[in-house]
Amino acid sequence: LGALAPREAHLELECTLKADGAAMGQFLAKVVAQLRAAGWQLIHLVMDNASVNTAALKEAVLSPWLGFVQVHWTPPHASWLNLAEPMWSAFHRAVLQNSEFRTEEAVIAVTQLYLDYWRAHPRAYHWPRPPRKKRPPARLPVWKRLHTIPIICRTLNYRRTTSMPPSVRSAIWLT
């Protein structure tokens, strides 16, 4: 389970045997208590529509904190609106991808190492992302630029004749 404060680059991770409403409720209560102790007045939770999240908000352990929490639900199939998704993607690439864990302790140890690394090198996430720089459009192929050939020929002809002495220029024009 994880919670991310994107602008402050604050991350909390916790390994549980199963991700159900009770575990998520306890995790959220712990995170909200920590944030309230740090001086946060109102905590905005951005959650997707996973059944774990909806069940967590019904847990009694979270009820004392509901006055300090405002929940925002992302629409279905709109993961790009949740700034925790890039964090989960980075976590997956750094920890889980191409890994084989034989015990739960190994998963917990690697997750704790990732969390320690994150806290040593925090990275704020911003939305919206700055627009990507686009490459300039490719030049048109020659056959699509054929309409420019008369202009090019006239320009070349003019350059060729202006660099010649006046007597030769008049001879060229007369012929």
Which pLDDT belongs to residue 163? 56
pLDDT computed for residue 152 by the predictor: 52
- Given a cut of 50, the residues of the chain with pLDDT beneath it are 169-175
Q: Look up the pTM and report it.
A: 0.64
Question: Exposed/middle/buried for 76, CB within 10 Å: 0-12, 13-18, 19+?
Answer: exposed
- Using an 8 Å Cβ cutoff, are 20 and 56 in contact? no
- Confidence at residue 75, expressed as pLDDT on a 0 to 100 scale: 87
Q: Quick one: pLDDT at residue 138? A: 82
What pLDDT shows up at residue 172?
45
How much is the pLDDT for 128? 66
